[in-house]
Amino acid sequence: MPPRPVEEIAEAAARVFIAKGYREAGISDVSTALGMSHGAVYTYAKSKEALLYLALLRLARPDSLAGLEIPVAMPTAKDVVTAIDTGNELDGFTGLIEALGGRRRDVPVAQEFGVIIDELYGFIEQNRALLALIERCARDLPELAQFYFVRRRRAAFEKLGDYLRRRIRSGALRGVPDVPAAVRFITETVAWFAWHRVGDPDSAMLDDDACRRTVRHLLLTAFLADPGAVQTSK
């Protein structure tokens, strides 16, 4: 049998780890998914940890697979985290960075907040397989959980909370009973439509663009001090 592309091995490993989690998944599960023998998988990855490393790289840094030495050696915990560490917690969120740096007076808050919502939606939509893999496996891998939940996700929550507080104080956004709860409301609403909806049999058929536009419209309407501005935002 000719060699299989390493991307194919990594994709199968990702599907298995997402379905079963790290602790419950085994190399035999990956070999079954690929229709290969258990031993053949070892010609691509020397351990289950190496398969997870391959899966993370495939979803976070696909171009890096071409430079790997095969079979992939057992990675350290730091290697596993490095596979998904592509920068700081606000990479890809230019709108939020600019807003925290000081909103330009000529940018309406409806447009500013709309960009933040769009960037969050786009990030989750584009990375939903990677996010599913990380969240499924982090419960079994403390280093991965520390990096993802504490160093990245909670830090991003804090930044979004800072933004809400500033705009609420300025009167541009409505006051809320609790800012941390409002941050979770925004992120979980976006995450459900951009990610979890895909696995829901009653919602998977909804049009992607319609969901994106509806979520944006409803969040702007809920938070803007002047909901009428939603109609003029882009």
Can you give the pTM of this predicted structure? 0.91
DSSP state of 91: T
Percent of the chain with pLDDT over 70: 94
Could you give the C-alpha distances from 205 to 150, 193, 201, in angstroms and in order? 34, 11, 8
pLDDT bucket at 234, cuts 50 / 70 / 90: very low
> Residue 221's Cα: distance from chain center in Å?
25
Domain 6-84 in this protein, CATH class = mainly alpha
User: For the chain, what are the domain ranges?
Assistant: 6-84, 94-232
Scanning the chain, the segments in alpha helix (DSSP H) are: 6-24, 27-34, 38-41, 48-60, 77-84, 94-100, 109-126, 128-138, 142-145, 154-170, 179-194, 208-223
Q: What does the pLDDT look like over 169-227, one tens digit per residue?
A: 999 999 999 999 999 999 999 999 999 999 999 999 999 999 999 999 999 999 999 87
Could you give the C-alpha distances from 104 to 57, 91, 112, 226, in angstroms and in order? 38, 21, 9, 19
Q: What does the pLDDT look like over 70-90, one tens digit per residue?
A: 999 999 999 999 999 876 666
CATH superfamily of this structure's domain 94-232: Tetracycline Repressor, domain 2 (1.10.357.10)
Question: Terminus-to-terminus CA distance in the chain, angstroms?
Answer: 54
Compute the mean pLDDT over every residue in the chain, rounded to the nearest whole number: 92
**pLDDT at residue number 105:** 61
Using CB atoms within 10 A of its CB, is residue 171 exposed (0-12), middle (13-18) or buried (19+)? Answer: exposed
Segment 39-61 mean pLDDT: 95
